[in-house]
Each structure stands twice: as C-alpha cells, then as structure tokens.
Amino acid sequence: MPPLTDRYPLPVLQDSAREADPGGDERPRAWRSLEEWRNAPELEQAAAREFPPGAAEPPRGLARRSFLRLAGTTLALAGLAGCKKPAEKVMPYTRQPPDVKPGIPNAYATAWTVDGYAAGLVVTSWEGRPTKVEGNPDHPASLGATNHVAQALLVDLYDTTRAKGVKHRGASRSLEDYLQVQTERARGLEANGGEGLWLLLEPSTSPTRRELLERIRQRFPKCRVETYDALSRDNVHEGARLAFGRPLETRVRYDEARVVLSLDADFLARGPFSVREAREWAESRKPEREVMSRLYVAESHHGVTGMNADHRVRMKPSEVERFALAVLGELARTHKLPTLERFGGLELGWPEKAREVRAVAADLARNGERAVVVAGERQPPRVHAVAHMLNAALGSQGRLITLHEPAVDGVRSGPQVLGELAEAASAGRVDTVVVTAFDPVYTAPVGVMLGAALSAVPNAVYLAFREDETAKRSAWVLPAAHVMETWSDARSLDGTTSIIQPLIQPLHGGLTELDVLSPFAGVADQTAYQLVKGHHARQRGGASPVFDDTWDQWLAVGTIPDTAVPGATAMVDASAVEASVRSFARRPSQGLELNLVPGYKVRDGRYFHNAWLQELPDPLTMLAWGNAALLSPSTAERLGLEPRDKARLTFRGRWVEAPVYVLPGHADDTVTLELGWGREWLDDSIEKVGTLGVNAYLLRHADAPWFADGLQVEKVEGRGRYATSQDHWSMHGREIAIQDRLEDFEKKKAHYLEHLKGDVEKLYDPFKYGEPYQWAMAVDLNRCIGCGACVVACQAENNIPVVGREQVERGREMHWLRVDRYFEGRPEEPQAIPQPMMCQHCEAAPCEYVCPVNATVHSDEGLNEMVYNRCVGTRYCSNNCPYKVRRFNYLDYNPRVDELEKLRMNPDVTVRMRGVMEKCTYCVQRIERARIEARKAHKPIDTKSLESACAQACPTEAIAFGSLHEEESEVARRHRDVRHYAVLHELGTRPRTAYLARIKNPNPELEHGRG
C-alpha cells in the first residue's frame, strides 16, 4: 500500500491558507494544528506513517492491572448484590407486572439539575440497572436532547471511589446514630434560637427543600442559611439588580433572533437552559431562512459559542467590559436609539476596536427588536446591566427576551460566604455546620482558611459524593446519593417543576440533601420520598386516591403540568445604569492577565473522576486527561515558550506549574487555565496515585474570581504532559470539512455538484437498493456546535471502553465517533470548524475488499457490518480506511470479572474482547430491536422514531438518521439538500453518511476570518 503522501500529496501552505476553486474564486483550506499551518517536516513523516506515532505498534511493558483501573469505575465491588429496587414507588413499576419481562428495557422519566435548575431526563433501565441517559422531549429545558455531562452521569453512579457509609471522625457509624446525634443537637440549638447553626447548601430550585428551609428558619430564627457554588451566578443577579432594582433571570428566544452579540457568554454550552438555547440557535442558522442569523462573540479564549461565531473579536477578559461600553456609546451617538440619549455625551469609544464597534453597533441598530445582547456569568454586573439597557433600547426585551424571577434559594452564592463562615468558625461562633455544597475547601479562594475553620467546628456535617478535601476536615461524613438514587424535585428556568425519582436503590447507602436537612426541620422520621410527595400533596389539597393517580402521571411524564410561570415585568433604571457607567475607570492592564474559566468537562471539579469526560477531547484544544496553560501564538513566541514546555504561573505571590498549549485565536497577553483539575488520579504509567492536571484554584482570589492582571510567566525545566488528539488524524489538504460564506454559497453550488457529489469511475457495480430499508445518516455542519455530546452518547450506548491517558497519547483512543476540529484562516484570527466523523458505511467500502476472513461485510440494508467472531486482528481494514474511523482494541479493556462495570453495560451490545476491530455500527442494535417490535405488531418499522444514540443526544439536531426510502424523512431530505457532499467523494467509496456544508454569515463591513 503506497504511503499516504503518494496518494494525497501534501500542499505547500503559503501565508494565505487559500487555494483557487474551479470557478476562479479563492477557496479556504482548513488546518488542525500550527504544525500543519507551518507545513512542518514532521507532518510529512506523520502522513507517511498513516497512523499517529505509537498507535500502530503493539503495547509493551504495560501491566494488565493498569488498564483494569484506568477503565474508569471498574474495580470489582465485593458483596454487591446486583440491583435492588428503590423502597418507594418508582414509575413505571415497583412490582413486575405481567407485561414486563427480562430483556425488555424500561424508560423512566426523571431530572437532574444544572446550576440548581432542572433539566428533564429519560433513563433506560434493564431490570433495575440504569444504562443510558436521554433527554425528556416533554421538558422545556431539554426538548429530548442532552449534553456531554448528562450522558456521562452513569459513570459516577457506578463509581467505586464514592463515599460509602456514615463516618464520624473516620470511624464507621450507623445512620441511626447520626440521626439521633443531630436530633439531640438540634434540640440544644433550639434553646438559643439556632445561634451557631450554619447551613452551606448547593443552589437549588427544589420546592420541597424550600419548605424544609422555611421550617428550619422558623425553628432556628438566628441560624445562617447560605448557598455556595464555585461557579456562582452572582454577576447575573447583581447585574439585573443594577438594571431593574431586583435580581432576575433572562430567557432568550435565539430562534427568532437575527443578530446576537455575546459578551463572553458561552450560552451554547453553559447555563441552565443551554441545551434548549443551542437548539433554538441552530434553527436560526438555516441558510434557506429569509434572514440567517449572525453571531458576534467578544471573548478571550475559545468557548463553544465562540467557535461557532460569524465574527469573533478576541480581547483580554477585562476588555470585554470596555467593548460593551463602546458599543453602547456608538449606539447612543451614531444611531441615537431612544432611551440612550444620556450616554451620547460620555467618552465610551475604543479607538483600537473602532472598526468592530461600528460594524456591530450598526448591525444591532438595523435589526432592532430582532437583535439581542447577552453577557457571560464571568463578566462584572455592569456588563450585564449594559446588556439589559441595550436590549431595552433595541426593543428585543419583551419580544425575544423574557425576564423571570430567580427560582433558586438565595441569589448570593459567591466565594464571600466562605470567608464569612471561616471567620465565624475560627472565632468559635459556629457549633454546627451542615455542608451540601460541592467541596468548598477545595474550591475556596486564596486566603480563606476554610479547612482549618471546619476542623474547629464541633459538629461539622458534610454530604460527600467522595471523601474529598472537605470530607477530611468534617466531623461527620455522609455518603451522597447519586441523582439516579434520589427522591427530590426541581424547577426549570420557566418554573416548570419536575419530580426527580430514583432508578436504583442507593448502592452505597447514599443520602439525599433532604435526608440531611430533615433532622433540623423536625421531620427526621420522614424519608425523602415522603417529604417530596407530601409537599406536593399539600399543594393539591392533601393526600387522596385522586392525588395518587395524579402523582403517578407526573412520574411517568417527568413534569408537573401547568407549573410554568409567566415572565416578570420590569423597566430598566437608566439613571442607575448611567451612574455605573460613569464610574467605569479605564485602567490600563498591567502585563499578562490570568483568565480562569469553568472546566468544560469537569465543571468546578465535581466530574473530575468521571473517566468518560476525562477521555472526551475538549472541543477546541482537543485535550484529554488534564488541562494546560493556554496562550496565543504571539504571546508564546514573545515569552519564548513552545508547546509542551513547562511554565511557572505566578500571581500575587502564589504559583503553579502547567504545561503550555499554544491555541490559535487566543487573546494576546492572556493565559487561560480551566478550573476543576489538579486532583488525585491513578497514574497509568507508574501505577501510583498522583495529581492529574493543574489546580487553578490555587491562583483564585475572592476579589478576582475570574480574571485579573499582574500574572508572571516563566519557563522552567522539564516538559509538560498532556494528551491531545488534535494531530491524530489530518485532512492533508483535502476538502473534508467544508465551510463557505452565505454570500458565496450560490456561486459555489456548481463546485459542489462537480467535485463533491455525483458519479465517479468505479470498478464494481453500484449497491442495489432492494430492501425496504436503506439506512443512512446526514450531518449538518451548520447545526453542529462541536459540543461532544454525541461522542459520550455513543460511548454509553455501545459499551466503548476508556483507555487512559497514556494510550490516548499514543493515538489509541477507542471512540467510535470523534469530533474533529479544523481551523480556517490565519492563526491569529482563525475560525473553527467542528466535524463529527464516524464510519461512513460506504457502499463501496475499502475495508471490505482487504479483509482476509470476511469479518467486515455489507448488509442488504446498506450497513457496513463487523462480525467480531471472524476478526483475527490483521488491521488491514483500518489501513485501508481513508476516514480512519476503525479502532483496534490492543488490550482487554473490559475484563469479565468486573461486576460493577457490568451494571452499566448495555446488554444489547456485545462487549468486545482484545484483538478485534471496532467501529460505528449506526446503532444496529436499535435497528434490530425496532425490527423485532415491528414484526410482533405486524407493522413496518417506525423509522421516524428510530434514532441512533448520537442523533438522539445531539442538542442541535445536527445528526439525522433513518431510511433513504422514506422520502419525507429528515435524512432523505438532507441527502437531497444542495449543501450535501460526500467526504473524499473522489475515492468513489459512496458513503451512506452525507455532510451538509457549514455556512457562515459574516458582516460585509468586516473582513474577519478571510485569511
């Protein structure tokens, strides 16, 4: 087989990464890394190797024990007695009815919380074993979709590192002992009105918890009830308070917006309504719409929203505020919007960004009530107030924007509460503290000695999912129940209430937050189930047989009907906003800025031990198994730093050492670190417990929780370590991820028809479309945001193992579906292109011709199938696959002895052992189950309800699956779409997976991203 460079020669990349297309216009060429942009010599060597270095060689010197541990939550759990049904009633059944048989899965409706707000879930369970998470189509926050974190919740459920049993100062105690001690303690606190009692809780919208807290406040009027979240939304609430006089939440209809300005707001990936908002934003991006929306993003580091922007204006994080004020001033002076006259005389310009400010302001003014400005949670309250002011002036508030009263208990959850608690505890003024917030000792800002303070509290109670830093400092440690082991309730942003019901009895005796609070509310004799059902029964007039029927309906549907609340009415206080704007001081930034961002996969650190999320490549950096210090190419060059160098980051006298990652498009003079890393993990290479990633909390201060200047960076000896898949598979100059501008789209239709679709020369007869079902897939790159939810959904559905950091570094990741990330344009101002890539199920599949044992074959319905029992591991098929989507399992990642891992496995999918080739199957198990059900009902397969796991999870509906013979199906429509093309069409493989080209809608006044 000739080297890849002989078949597809590498182009010589010039300063402008563009080439002429047949129509004479310049076409963009995408690239994946700076080495590819520079046409580095090692790139040709990598192309000649066909696979990443180390990926094709068999492993040597690696102990089997390493991989048993690295498979993530795979240590055998002695004495685990299978799956027990919850003690209380769980829909759809508690006692097995006659129509429920082993081997037939059931779907349970429940919910989980994001920033305290509910998002609906539907969880597949096999005889009491939860195995797959989907979105609830009847829930307003999910619309049937999920994100990458929701898909990975099962890993935490079956994690053996969870806290087990009640402990008091390290010794095991019974739950009865705990309840007795706390009940007596509560009686003693009652005598002085609860002085000395602190509750430090997670932000929550639970109506039942709110009722419990009211009881506690009545019983202990002097107690302190506070909420804490390391990723607090305080700026959102304080910005609304500044603009409206009271804290409010904002709900945006992105599907009706024509222009969106994001001020460091990653709304496609962050926030309680991000799944729904991503769906709505994707609807606005249809090129066939009368007006396709346009997205501007001002940010320092690439977020998911930024990588999907039409125009991304990079700047230091502290400069976003100045940009917002400059847009405000431009709209006031030039466009003279009503209600903005008072800002016209203020000096709010920004000469260095004048071109961008003028273009953005003009676009907002032209679209008026169809234009929206949103601010990110990291930005100070003034930026949020300015966004509200602009929306009111444009007229979008009330049309596209709805204001809601916050449903969370308390709107203050920032780090200042930790300082107050530490001070009171150190002074001996705290007798009892109950902590349900996630690991506040680990996430506490610099200077807050919360750990020592908690150790001094006589009765410190901590509800811990794992025995973390806070658990080590607490007198009582209680095992926390997983959300799928929990009875509770929660409200969505619009007020819709969901019942959170368990799918399995707590595996480790886990307790809910309601269980922990009940002794202090005087209801220790009631379970969480009784508390939740009792609360809602009282809201409906009391318990009765009628309410019991209603309760069952709620559990089955997943939401309580008619609980959404109308939007709030509020007017912007322009004078208050003006006073705040006048107080803005343009202080020049001093040197480098430290930029702290929430962990995309680990959030604040609570999902650090989730192996599926660890191995998921980051959407932009493609990093797995750790974080790194992100710098722009020019800043790295100025500091003398190269990728994988080790740098010391010093901020206000404290320092950490981090590997350097040079990220195209990153803001200059800014260093970004993700929060949530730097915790203990088993090192696969040395089989010792060590830290994984860099703990950015060590540089976080209460007065600068997100960004500040004054950072010093210096190179130190040694090389940094991180695993990244960005260079594993490259397009080598070929047109794979296609992106065009809306203004050029019509001109390039002929190019698509001639070069990316249609007949090509072939040696074999075309595939015969004889069977009634012809399965196919279509991926609309215009809707794909690159979030990675599809990758984790595929992993959950198909029992795909985790391989660990070292194997990812070798290019041996096992994901059947990957999301490639390409850049277009110059490294300083690139635009990102995400592209999901899986087995294309080619009708003329190159893998099938070379298999010596006929293990990879073609079905009559168009599937490229793998017969595992035939495969002998020659890997010829992988060598011959031009899409590089086949995975060879060098090691036994799924040892049969692991009982805990078996609980999570999908019994519909074979667990592959060592030595066979794996790949995407279009979720053939779902097809066959649908076929069985159709035969039983003597009906054809309901292809409209049949979805692959990736398509079902996708929040933007970027992936469509179905039969091409269904002319009206979405997949057939996309295969007929003028934007559709086949990847590597010139090879004549005739893929069953079609891609729809990504269309950008840039502002003609800006040349951003043109190379």
Tens-digit pLDDT profile for residues 389-442: 999 999 999 899 999 999 998 788 999 999 999 999 999 999 999 999 999 999
Q: What is the pLDDT of residue 128?
A: 83
275 in Cβ contact with 269 (< 8 Å) = no
Average pLDDT over residues 373-384: 97
pLDDT of 1 strictly over 50: no
Helix (H, G, I), strand (E, B) or coil at 725: coil
747 in Cβ contact with 964 (< 8 Å) = no
Q: What is the pLDDT of residue 582?
A: 92
Mean pLDDT for all residues in the chain: 87
Q: What is the pLDDT of residue 105?
A: 87
Q: What is the pLDDT of residue 770?
A: 77
Cα 383 → chain centroid: 25
Q: What is the pLDDT of residue 922?
A: 96
Average pLDDT over residues 718-738: 74
Alpha-carbon gap, residue 199 to 612, rounded angstroms: 33
Long-range contacts of 863-867 (CB under 8 A, 24+ apart): 863/775, 863/921, 863/922, 863/924, 864/839, 864/919, 865/921, 865/924, 866/916, 866/917, 866/918, 866/919, 866/921
Q: What is the pLDDT of residue 812?
A: 85
Q: What is the pLDDT of residue 680?
A: 83
Q: What is the C-alpha radius of gyration for the chain, rounded to an integer number of angstroms?
A: 28
Q: What is the pLDDT of residue 756?
A: 74
pLDDT of 849 strictly over 80: yes
19 falls in which pLDDT band (50, 70, 90)? very low
Q: What is the pLDDT of residue 487?
A: 96
Q: What is the pLDDT of residue 730?
A: 58
Of the candidate ranges 53-62, 313-322, 430-439, the one whose mean pLDDT is the lowest: 53-62
> Looking at the domain that runs over 4-60+740-760+773-1000, which CATH code has it been given?
3.30.70.20
Q: Whose structure tokens read 């429920």?
A: 100
Alpha-carbon gap, residue 414 to 697, rounded angstroms: 14
| pLDDT tens digit sequence for 119-140 | 999 999 988 889 999 999 999 9
Q: What is the pLDDT of residue 54?
A: 57
pLDDT of 52 strictly over 90: no
Of the candidate ranges 37-41, 130-134, 277-281, 952-956, the one whose mean pLDDT is the lowest: 37-41
21 in Cβ contact with 743 (< 8 Å) = no
pLDDT of 299 strictly over 60: yes
Sequence-ordered list of residues with C-beta below 8 angstroms from that of 527, at least 6 positions apart, any chain:
87, 88, 487, 515
- Give the side-chain half-sphere CA count within 13 A for 471: 19
880 in Cβ contact with 849 (< 8 Å) = yes
Q: pLDDT higher for 474 or 345?
A: 474
Nearest alpha carbon to residue 255 among 271, 272, 279: 279
* CA angle in degrees (0–180, nearest 5) for 26-29-35: 140
Cα 352 → chain centroid: 34
Helix (H, G, I), strand (E, B) or coil at 167: strand
20 falls in which pLDDT band (50, 70, 90)? very low
> DSSP alpha helices (H): ranges in 167-291?
175-190, 207-219, 234-244, 274-283
Helix (H, G, I), strand (E, B) or coil at 204: coil
332 falls in which pLDDT band (50, 70, 90)? very high
Q: What are phi and psi of 242, to 5 degrees?
A: -65, -40
Q: What is the pLDDT of residue 122?
A: 95
| pLDDT tens digit sequence for 604-662 | 999 999 999 999 999 999 999 999 999 999 999 999 999 999 999 999 999 999 999 99
543 falls in which pLDDT band (50, 70, 90)? confident
Q: Which two tokens stand for residue 818?
A: 């990957």
> Residue type for 75, please?
L
33 falls in which pLDDT band (50, 70, 90)? confident
Average pLDDT over residues 30-36: 71
Average pLDDT over residues 530-553: 92
Average pLDDT over residues 759-780: 82
Q: What is the pLDDT of residue 27?
A: 43
Q: Is 767 exposed, middle or buried (0-12, 13-18, 19+ CB in 10 A)?
A: middle
pLDDT of 30 strictly over 90: no
Q: What is the pLDDT of residue 94?
A: 52
Burial 880-913 (b: 16+ CB within 10 A, else e): bbbbbbbbbbbbbbbbeebbbbbbbbbbbbebbe
CA dihedral 166, 168, 172, 177 (to 10 degrees): -70
Helix (H, G, I), strand (E, B) or coil at 317: coil
47 falls in which pLDDT band (50, 70, 90)? low
Alpha-carbon gap, residue 861 to 800, rounded angstroms: 24
Average pLDDT over residues 893-914: 78
Between 528-539 and 513-521, two packed helices, what is the crossing angle to 10 degrees?
70
> Residue type for 16, please?
S
Alpha-carbon gap, residue 914 to 899, rounded angstroms: 19
Helix (H, G, I), strand (E, B) or coil at 414: coil
96 falls in which pLDDT band (50, 70, 90)? low
| Structural fold of domain 235-404 | Dimethylsulfoxide Reductase; domain 2 (3.40.228)
> Looking at the domain that runs over 166-232+413-479, which CATH code has it been given?
3.40.50.740
- Give the side-chain half-sphere CA count within 13 A for 740: 21
Alpha-carbon gap, residue 477 to 163, rounded angstroms: 8
pLDDT of 729 strictly over 90: no
Alpha-carbon gap, residue 811 to 57, rounded angstroms: 10
**The pairing of beta strand 864-866 with beta strand 166-168:** unpaired
72 falls in which pLDDT band (50, 70, 90)? very low
Can you list the positions of beta strands (E) in 428-475? Answer: 432-435, 459-464
Q: What is the pLDDT of residue 586?
A: 77
Between 319-333 and 381-394, two packed helices, what is the crossing angle to 10 degrees?
30
| pLDDT tens digit sequence for 672-723 | 999 999 998 765 544 456 689 999 999 999 999 999 999 999 999 988 888 8
Q: What is the pLDDT of residue 411?
A: 83
Average pLDDT over residues 787-797: 96
Alpha-carbon gap, residue 316 to 895, rounded angstroms: 48
Q: What is the pLDDT of residue 154?
A: 95
CATH of 587-724, one of 2.60.40.10, 2.40.40.20, 2.40.50.140, 1.10.1040.10: 2.40.40.20
pLDDT of 60 strictly over 70: no
Q: pLDDT higher for 74 or 324?
A: 324
pLDDT of 527 strictly over 80: yes
Nearest alpha carbon to residue 266 among 608, 790, 620: 620
Nearest alpha carbon to residue 323 among 363, 354, 295, 366: 354
Q: Where are the domains of the chain?
A: 4-60+740-760+773-1000, 166-232+413-479, 235-404, 587-724
Average pLDDT over residues 527-552: 92
pLDDT of 70 strictly over 70: no
| pLDDT tens digit sequence for 446-480 | 999 999 999 999 999 999 999 999 999 999 999 99
Q: What is the pLDDT of residue 22?
A: 40
Average pLDDT over residues 326-354: 90
The model carries a pTM of 0.91
CA distances, 470 to each of 83, 157, 286, 292, 750 (Å): 30, 21, 48, 49, 63
| pLDDT tens digit sequence for 989-1005 | 999 999 999 999 999 99
87 in Cβ contact with 505 (< 8 Å) = yes
| Percent above pLDDT 90 for the chain | 68
